[in-house]
Amino acid sequence: MLRQIIGQAKKHPSLIPLFIFIGAGGTGAALYVMRLALFNPDVSWDRKNNPEPWNKLGPNDQYKFYSVNVDYSKLKKEGPDF
């Protein structure tokens, strides 16, 4: 398949940006899904030792990918411990 892509790129050089952007988009999507699977507190890979990982998050832990207006280092806890 890679040989076909290289052959098409040699025959039609105008397709090179298309291949670059499609490859970058696929790579970015795969990396984001991998980040969600490994670092999201909603995903529990070890159910015996840590069945509810979202309960261990502190109020100043940032688990969102990007936060516009919230400074997580200044947040305080507003609820009971479970």
Q: Kindly report, residue by residue over 23-52, the tens digit of the pLDDT.
A: 999 999 999 999 888 877 777 777 777 777
Which is higher by pLDDT, 40 or 8?
8
What is the value of pTM for the model shown? 0.60
Query: Taking every pair of C-alpha atoms in the chain, what is the biggest distance, in angstroms?
Result: 66
**Cα–Cα dist 17/59, whole Å:** 44
Mean pLDDT of the chain: 80
Report the distance separating Cα 45 and Cα 53, nearest Å. 10
Separation between Cα atoms, residue 78 and residue 35, nearest integer Å: 28
CA pair distance 81, 52, nearest whole angstrom: 13
Give, as one character, the DSSP assignment of residue 78: -
